Amino acid sequence: MEISDILKICDHTLLRVDCTAEEIRKLCDEAIRYSCASVCIPPCHVAGAKRYVGDRMKICTVIGFPNGYMTSAAKAFEASDAIGNGADEIDMVINLSMVKDGQWDAVKNDILAVREATKGYILKVIIECCLLTDEEKIRLCEIVAECGADFIKTSTGFSKWGATAADVELMRAHSPAEVKVKAAGGISSIDDAEAFISLGAERLGTSRIVKLAMQMEEEAENA
């Protein structure tokens, strides 16, 4: 697979708590240069990034991030505010406390609150696989589909570990075709990216692939 094809499905990501506006603009420049799917950035930077890129790049942001234990009303407001500031795509974190309590109706309603606030926009639901049993992951695949989300996503990248091949394979197997899979967290090589894509991931959350593309260009120029 050509690296250019991988880059087209990458959400070029910077979610570090101390990232600056200058770093966000640099991220946007890189994403535009390499034709990424979007930039994934903190909510506080959405408005500035949107002014900077206009229609040249999709803006993705995170909601209820990274822990997911905010109230549903707070998440819905956060999502609505982000869209008002120019976000094109929303990555929300589920309420893992509800999952562990087996409160499946509450889990569904939490997602639905954000889905209602994001009508007409892409919604990705982060289930944080590293904290779940396989049975919980499978149930969440069903719920995410029932809620009409566009993607189910493996990880925030801020917990125990990120995407694994086993999780991407399980999520693809238990999600209907209309729900896409996003792998995120720990994708550090072309081989990683290709492996996740081969297992059914249609979006990757990473900053490393762009860095690898830049490195490859530099090596080619110096050869």
- Cα dihedral 143, 8, 173, 134 sign: negative
Distance of CA 144 to the CA centre of its chain: 14
Q: Which of 124, 180, 182, 192 is catalytic?
A: 182
Catalytic residue (one of 91, 110, 150, 167): 91
Examine the residue annotation and report whether 153 is marked as an active-site residue of this protein.
yes
Q: Residues 75, 108, 153, 180: which is the catalytic one?
A: 153
180 in catalytic set: no
Residue ranges of domains in the chain: 62-222
CATH topology of domain 62-222: TIM Barrel (3.20.20)
- Contact of 7 with 35, CB cutoff 8 Å: yes
Rounded CA Rg of the chain: 17
> In tens digits, what is the pLDDT along the chain, a chain of 223 residues?
899 999 999 999 999 999 999 999 999 999 999 999 999 999 999 999 999 999 999 999 999 999 999 999 999 999 999 999 999 999 999 999 999 999 999 999 999 999 999 999 999 999 999 999 999 999 999 999 999 999 999 999 999 999 999 999 999 999 999 999 999 999 999 999 999 999 999 999 999 999 999 999 999 888 7
For 114, the 3-state DSSP assignment is helix
Specify the DSSP element, H or E, that contains 60. Answer: strand 59-63
